[in-house]
Structure 1
Amino acid sequence: MSKFDDKNRNFDERQEDQQEKKNLNVEFSRTLGEEKQKKTKKN
């Protein structure tokens, strides 16, 4: 039983990590897009 619980907990943690990475990638892409827009406006 405890082994099964550990597996579930690890799975949940992995899911959360992936969600955080996705959020970071979204933030990074948005920042990158804004930087590109700024450069484009300057030119």
Structure 2
Amino acid sequence: MSKADLPLKPCAVCKRPFVWCRKWVRCRAEVRYCSERCRRRRQGRG
């Protein structure tokens, strides 16, 4: 399977799409941010 065939998911902060990662197999629904930077900048935290 090529990287282009993997499902995309939008980041909750910057709205940029990011691709599926193998380490998220069991927690795909819980992953909301594309990076650590976006996780720190999540809405509601000033």
TM range (shorter): under 0.3
Return the structure number with greater strand share: 2
Q: Which has the higher contact order (CA 8 A, sep 6+)?
A: 2
Q: TM-score, normalised by structure 2?
A: 0.18
Return the structure number with greater helix share: 1
Q: Name the larger-Rg structure.
A: 1
Q: TM-score, normalised by structure 1?
A: 0.18
